[in-house]
């Protein structure tokens, strides 16, 4: 087990100043080949914001972070397919990518850290050597001589994290950081992030980790939008459930009717959709009443508003299916 680490010390070297502007995305479009992952995305990541980013595989979480990193690394020269990413002048980004970056396998742990810098300034004239820092991260003197190629997946990830923090970032992007980490390192990473003063974006499928380390959850639900979820992961799971049920319920009947040219089945399906739309209209009216009633309760309004948006989406989809079917009848 790695020795206990001095968290207060660790945080000092990751504490370079961060101005008011961190990342501002204006009407951004992100493509992957011909596929549009995100469209009309306007989003602001402010100083000290702690964001959990969730979404199904392939929704575009990594692509979003990459686009932001690219804008930062190129000083704003390289921009996404549409819109603009404005990066604050003081931003120093560290990006822990989904795949552990390959280091030359014969390089020793200590050497790989010294490559970044030999000593870290802790302020007030105090310093820490790369070797001392390695120890704080659970690499004993002996382990520091291990070739990087012989490290376990978890050790490699821990080393990558240390190398990132050595660069004194004030914004941290982490893509699935909990992969390969043993429980001990994981809980130390959580502690470390507790004291992290900068901005933070974390992609993870680990619910506990997201809830422990971030303050707000955003989701990519596969509709080219990034949505803030006021109720967090619970809301994400609810929405996923609704999408799955809707797809299961709507698709077979409509597709069947369309394929077979069965007018009677199509008509029945049309009526079913119409009934559902009527039901949604009623729900919507109720939500509006509740909104008026709780207008002064900020949390409640956010919750109702999220419901309203989900409902509108559902309605839009139903209307689309209705239109599609109606063409054939
Ligand atoms: N260079 C590329 N060329 C073409 N398609 C790509 C490229 N990079 C990613 N994609 C596709 O873009 C989509 C989004 O990928 P991305 O890696 O951003 O998703 P993700 O939300 O991070 O998924 P995961 O949870 O699996 O990591 C996927 O369908 C992926 O196959
Ligand atoms: Mg990804």
Q: For residue range 150-174, what is the model confidence (pLDDT) as tens digits? A: 998 888 888 988 888 788 889 999 9
Query: Which residue among 33, 38, 206, 226 is best mutated to probe the pocket of ligand 1, counting the most ligand atoms within 8 A of its Cβ?
Result: 33
Reported confidence tier of residue 14, pLDDT bands at 50, 70, 90: very low
- For residue 194, give the nearest of 11, 1, 47, 5 by alpha carbon: 11
d(CA 201, CA 91): 14
Do 222 and 254 lie in one domain? The reply is no
Full domain range(s) for residue 74: 7-229
Residue 173: its pLDDT value, please? 96
Is residue 126 predicted with pLDDT exceeding 80?
no
Q: Is the pLDDT of residue 120 over 80?
A: no
Dist. CA 58 → ligand 1 center (Å): 5
Tell me: do 159 and 203 sit in the same domain.
Answer: yes
Tell whether 75 and 159 lie within a shared domain.
yes
> Ion ligand 2 — residues with CB under 5 Å?
61-62, 98
Work out which ligand 1 atom sits closest to the CA atom of 63. 18
Average pLDDT over residues 302-307: 86
Residues 165, 306, single domain; the answer is no
Is residue 319 in some structural domain?
yes
Q: Let me know whether 42 and 108 are in one domain.
A: yes
Return d(Cα 79, Cα 83) in angstroms, integer: 8
Residues 174 and 248 in one domain: no
Asked whether the predicted pLDDT for residue 131 surpasses 90, the reply is yes
CB neighbourhood size of 143 (10 A): 16
Last residue of a domain, one of 190, 209, 229: 229
pLDDT bracket for residue 203 (50, 70, 90): very high
User: What's the total number of domains in the chain?
Assistant: 2
pTM for this entry: 0.71
Contact in structure between 30 and 80 (CB atoms under 8 Å): yes
Q: Tell me, yes or no, whether 271 and 201 share the same domain.
A: no
pLDDT classification of 63: cutoffs 50, 70, 90: very high
Pairing of the two strands 199-203 and 50-55: parallel
Question: What CATH number did the domain enclosing 107 receive?
Answer: 3.40.50.300
**Residue minimizing CA distance to atom 1 of ligand 1:** 32
Which atom belonging to ligand 1 lies closest to the Cα atom of 55? 21
Residues contacting 147, CB < 8 A, separation 6+ = 105, 106, 107, 108
Does residue 1 sit within a domain? no
Q: Where residue 226 falls among pLDDT bands split at 50, 70, 90?
A: very high
Both 33 and 117 in a single domain? yes
Give pLDDT, residue 3: 43
Q: Report the nearest-CA residue for atom 24 of ligand 1.
A: 57
- Domain limit, last residue, from 209, 229, 249: 229
Q: Which residues lie with the beta carbon below 6 Å from any ligand 1 atom?
A: 32-33, 35, 37, 55, 57-63, 98
């Amino acid at each position: 087990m790695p020795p206990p680490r001095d968290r207060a010390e660790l945080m000092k070297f990751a504490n370079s100043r961060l101005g008011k502007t961190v990342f501002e995305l204006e009407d951004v479009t992100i493509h992957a080949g011909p596929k549009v992952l995100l469209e009309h995305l306007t989003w602001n990541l402010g100083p000290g914001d702690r964001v959990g980013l969730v979404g199904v595989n392939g929704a575009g979480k990594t692509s979003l972070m990459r686009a932001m990193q690219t804008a930062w690394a190129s000083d704003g020269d390289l921009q996404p397919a549409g819109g603009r990413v404005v990066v604050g002048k003081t931003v120093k980004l560290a990006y822990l990518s989904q795949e552990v970056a390959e280091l030359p396998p014969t390089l020793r742990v200590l050497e790989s850290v010294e490559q970044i810098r030999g000593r870290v300034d802790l302020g007030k004239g105090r310093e820490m050597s790369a070797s001392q820092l390695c120890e704080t991260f659970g690499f004993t003197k002996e382990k520091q001589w291990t070739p990087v190629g012989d490290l376990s997946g978890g050790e490699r990830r821990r080393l990558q994290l240390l190398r990132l923090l050595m660069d004194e970032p004030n914004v941290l992007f982490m893509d699935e950081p909990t992969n390969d980490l043993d429980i001990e390192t994981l809980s130390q990473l959580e502690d470390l992030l507790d004291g992290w003063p900068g901005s933070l974006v974390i992609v993870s499928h680990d619910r506990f980790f997201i809830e422990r380390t971030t303050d707000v959850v955003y989701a990519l639900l596969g509709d080219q939008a990034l949505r803030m979820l006021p109720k967090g992961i619970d809301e994400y799971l609810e929405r996923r459930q609704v999408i799955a049920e809707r797809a299961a319920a709507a698709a077979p009947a409509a597709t069947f009717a369309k394929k077979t040219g069965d007018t009677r089945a199509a008509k029945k399906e049309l009526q079913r959709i119409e009934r559902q739309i009527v039901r949604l209209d009623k729900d919507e009216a109720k939500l509006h009443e509740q909104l008026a009633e709780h207008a002064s309760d900020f949390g409640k309004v956010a919750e109702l508003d999220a419901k309203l948006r989900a409902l509108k989406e559902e309605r839009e989809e139903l209307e689309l299916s209705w239109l599609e079917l109606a063409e054939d009848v």
